[in-house]
Amino acid sequence: MSFNLQKIRSDFPILSREVNGYPLVYLDNAATSQKPKQVIDAIVDYYSNYNANIHRGVHTLSQEATDAYEAARHKIQAHFNAKEACEIIFTAGTTHGINLVANGFSEILKKGDEIIVSAMEHHSNIVPWQMLCEKTGAVLKVIPMNEEGVLVFSEYKKLLSNKTKLVFVNHISNALGTINPIKKIIEKAHQVGAAVLVDGAQSCSHIKPDLQKLDVDFYVTSAHKMCGPTGVGILYMKEAWGNKLAPYQGGGEMIAEVTFEKTTYAGLPHKFEAGTPNICGGIAFGAAIDYLNEIGFEAIEAHENELLKYATEQLLEIEGLKIYGTGPDKTSVVSFNIEGIHPYDIGTIVDKLGIAVRTGHHCAQPIMDFYKIPGTVRASFAFYNTLEEVDALVNAVKKAKMMLS
């Protein structure tokens, strides 16, 4: 498909609605993306035609559902260039994937071992590691960032030692839009024998990571950020790690054999997929991946970069407006404040004009503490946004400033 913005927009039913009497301008894509009819249709088709439990029945519906679910797993494997389909574990989303890995490491880490996270992590990338440290006696270290919202690589190198067992960093910061140099981060961690988990919650809607090329040990993301449904995501883990880590939950489908004396576990990926999964979600995630690939990630990236550049230039024309996250490698997120005005007030006024942005700490309080601010207004753009929508945002922010100053 060539990049036909009007055609793309017509795929998203929600984009034609109004909010408060204005056309919806949806700029909260980092929180969750909107869904094209191709994904909505996949959900309706599943529940209308072949809803059944998977891996369990010999009947036709169960086999159709199993085939569709496993086909989605293969699609996702191909998309991320994982070596094996069994390395793709369906989860409830990024948070679930991170907790699954943290649980596995609770049996590996010893007192005095070290885990490194970055200063620009989402709470779901901080709290599970703090809980893990409390349980194991491991120590949490933090890679600092500079005023631009860029990680200080020289400090990262100093933190690494043979005590480092796990490095955890997001691919793209949800609050700043910074794209982190994960290839370099992974290479350095591997030199001291540490494993790396990358949080791809914010990256996978903008770029297409090649997991084998990155040589990453674990990678997590959520379908809902990628035009798929909520409540489903994936954890990629190298097969060797999958065989090493203990299962997260016990239950149906994750076993090889159960007796009251002893249970043995199924192989990958089922070992980590206890209970009835989000079958429809997995299938619809596959449909979302197809949709994004049909548009093409090069085209998506090019359009979003144009939106980012235009929005940055236009917003900076407003006196007193400061953008947080000004590094050279950035995705289409603009986090800002206007001097003397609370971000919540700006968010409330622009909503009255039909514009959806997120305000607050964005589940990344340490970033706000670093800048000594309560929060920001965050406009996050997707490939279906337009330059006219950027204009609408800028005009609405100007209006808000006038009303609140």
Q: Give the residue with the Cβ less far from ligand C6P, 66 or 359.
A: 359
Angle at 259 between CA 254 and CA 261, to 5 degrees: 115
Three-state SS string across the chain, please? CCCCHHHHHHCCHHHHCEECCEECEECECCCCCCCCHHHHHHHHHHHHHHCCCCCCCCCHHHHHHHHHHHHHHHHHHHHHCCCCHHHEEEECCHHHHHHHHHHHHCCCCCCCCEEEEECCCCHHHCHHHHHHHHHHCCEEEEECECCCCCECHHHHHHHCCCCEEEEEEECECCCCCEECCHHHHHHHHHHCCCEEEEECCCCCCCCCCCHHHHCCCEEEEEHHHHCCCCCCEEEEECHHHHHHCCCCCCCCCCEEEECCCCEEECCCCHHHCCCCCCHHHHHHHHHHHHHHHHHCHHHHHHHHHHHHHHHHHHHHCCCCEEEECCCCCECCEEEEEECCCCHHHHHHHHHHCCEECEEECCCCHHHHHHHCCCCEEEEECCCCCCHHHHHHHHHHHHHHHHHHC
- Which residue in 199, 217, 273, 304 binds ligand C6P (CB under 6 A)? 199
* Closest distance of CB 196 from ligand C6P, Å: 15
Active-site residue flag, 280:
no
- Which residue in 8, 25, 27, 30 binds ligand C6P (CB under 6 A)? 30
- Which residue in 42, 143, 201, 226 binds ligand C6P (CB under 6 A)? 201
**Residue 174, interface with ligand C6P (CB under 6 A)?**
yes
Q: Give the residue with the Cβ less far from ligand C6P, 120 or 295.
A: 120
**Residue 282, interface with ligand C6P (CB under 6 A)?**
no
**Residue 242, interface with ligand C6P (CB under 6 A)?**
no
Size of site (CB under 6 A) for ligand C6P: 17
**Residue 202, interface with ligand C6P (CB under 6 A)?**
yes
Q: Give the residue with the Cβ less far from ligand C6P, 130 or 243.
A: 130
Q: Give the residue with the Cβ less far from ligand C6P, 330 or 362.
A: 362
- Which residue in 222, 314, 331, 359 binds ligand C6P (CB under 6 A)? 222
Among the listed residues 133, 204, 227, 363, the single catalytic one is 363
Site string for ligand C6P, 351-380 (x = CB under 6 A): -------x---xx-----------------
Where do we find the tokens 């982190």? Answer: 180
Site string for ligand C6P, 109-138 (x = CB under 6 A): -------------x-xx-------------
**Residue 95, interface with ligand C6P (CB under 6 A)?**
yes
Listed ranges 49-57, 88-96, 107-115, 151-159: which one lies at the site for ligand C6P (CB under 6 A): 88-96
* Closest distance of CB 4 from ligand C6P, Å: 28
Q: Give the residue with the Cβ less far from ligand C6P, 65 or 197.
A: 197
Interacting residues with ligand C6P (CB under 6 A): 30-31, 93-95, 122, 124-125, 170, 174, 199, 201-202, 222, 358, 362-363
Residues noted as catalytic? 363
